[in-house]
Amino acid sequence: MKLPYSLALLLLSIIGYGQENPYWFTDDIKKKMADSTQGQSWRSQMAATYYSISGQYKPALESWDETFGRVKKLSTADSLRYTKLIPVNAKDYILERAVNEQIIIINEAHHNASHRNFASSLLQGLYDKGYRYLGLETLASDSLNTAKFATLSSGYYSKEPEFGNFIYHALKIGFTLFPYEAEGNNKEREIGEAKNIFDFMQKNKGGKYLIYCGYQHAYEGVHKSWEKTMAGRLSDLTGVNPFTIDQTQFSEKSNLKYNEPLLRLTNNKVPVVLKDENQGIYNGEDKELYTDIKIIHPVTKYIKGRPDWMLSENRKFYKIPDSKVSSYPVLVFAYRKGEFKKEGIPADIIELNTSQDSRFLILDKGNYEIVIKDKKYKVINRFEKTVK
């Protein structure tokens, strides 16, 4: 899938709304979009981004699909061919293949936080196999290698809780993180990003590399307007064929009818890749512009009102006590202890509009400061909580 707008345009647009508070109530996001003079496509993309950053997974998908939702049909022949494909656990496959790779490039859809959650699940296994460097397109600098957590000034997409968790876990495991964003658009940007990554590699040769990017930057082959993507140009510079992974094409949409037919047929409960009877990996129908593998993510189920994929690793539910909320609506933030006052990224966010709403945060084991803000974004309660 081609990213419908450039990062530069997105960032310029965001500046107009101010970046001092990136976490908004649903009603305020709706109002900001309604007041905008931009077109429908712009509004749905921007709203999807704002919802995602504010911890609103389903509304982010819904907003995106207001413009990009499509109902796709499958021929009988393709349906029969697809039903012969065998699902294989994607995480296991990637970690097994990573042993013989030097560079892994995996992408995301910027409004889909589940992609960051999956990438985070790979980190420990990749580190155990010699991966030491993590390049992130969104980063503004490498200062977080010292701070050991992301802050509001670390980047834009990294303000989203799952991205903050991704960064936190990478640093805790021992990865060195580095930025590689480049100025310009289209071909110029692809060349600049690849060169920035290559220059970093020349100075840091103590391990393998994981590159995290958006959309088609991870694709190999011939691109109609870029000629080659960042992945292709990095391959040219290094002489190494990267292992490229797409998460975007077969991710769920806001409505089952918009899901790719292959996703509907697979009906998987965990992220998978598909093999044919000859053990070949299915990587899509486009042979001109492609990735080595395509992950088929499952359709999200909701538990206590929260996405089931958030309950990974050591995470568990924590219910906000009724006594801690004195009025509604509120935004409830969970910050790792000591990070709120340093403008860190919340580990989780929920919006409560009434006392009947699901009150469950999903958190790793650890010490947290819970911060509650009212409709005017004023802190009305702060308290500490240890999740065991």
What's the pTM?
A: 0.94
Residues 173 and 279 in one domain: yes
Q: What local confidence, expressed as pLDDT, does residue 83 receive? A: 86
Q: Are residues 266 and 326 in the same domain?
A: no
Domain that includes residue 333, residue range: 314-387
Structure tokens at 194: 């690849």
Backbone angles phi, psi at 166, to 5 degrees: -55, -50
How far is residue 200's CA from residue 107's CA, in Å, rounded to a whole number? 20
347 and 286 housed in the same domain: no
Contact 271, 297 (CB under 8 A): yes
User: What pLDDT shows up at residue 6?
Assistant: 42
Residues 256 and 119 in one domain: yes
Per the domain annotation, does 246 fall within a domain? yes
CA 247 to chain centre: 9
* pLDDT of amino acid 82: 86
- Both 40 and 82 in a single domain? no
d(CA 92, CA 70): 31
**To which residue do tokens 């509120």 refer?**
330
Residue 73 confidence (pLDDT): 86
User: For residues 349 and 318, is the Cβ–Cβ distance under 8 A?
Assistant: no
pLDDT for 162 equals 98
Question: Is 288 part of any domain?
Answer: yes
> Are residues 162 and 84 part of one domain?
yes
In a domain, 306, yes or no: no
Which DSSP string do the residues of 245-287 spell out, in sequence order?
EE-STTS--SSGGGS-HHHHHH--SS-EEEE-TTSPBP--S-S
CATH number at residue 339: 2.60.40
pLDDT of residue 289: 96
Q: Are 250 and 260 in contact, with CB atoms under 8 Å apart?
A: yes
Per the structure, how many domains does the chain have? 3
In this structure, the answer to whether residues 152 and 279 fall within a common structural domain is: yes
Residues 240 and 266 in one domain: yes
Domain ends where: 242, 260, 294? Answer: 294
Tell me which residues of the chain have a pLDDT lower than 50: 1-9, 11-18
In this structure, the answer to whether residues 151 and 274 fall within a common structural domain is yes
Same domain, 381 and 241: no
Residue 303 domain flag: no
Indicate which CATH number applies to the domain containing 174.
3.40.50
CB 219 within 8 A of CB 291: yes
Answer yes or no: do 228 and 335 share one domain: no
Residue 1 domain-assigned?
no
Q: Would you say residue 112 lies in a domain?
A: yes
Q: What is the pLDDT of residue 267?
A: 86
Of 244, 265, 294, which closes a domain? 294
Question: Looking at the domain assignment, is residue 382 inside a domain?
Answer: yes
CA distance 350 to 24: 11
Q: Does residue 232 lie in a domain region?
A: yes
149 and 243 share one domain:
yes
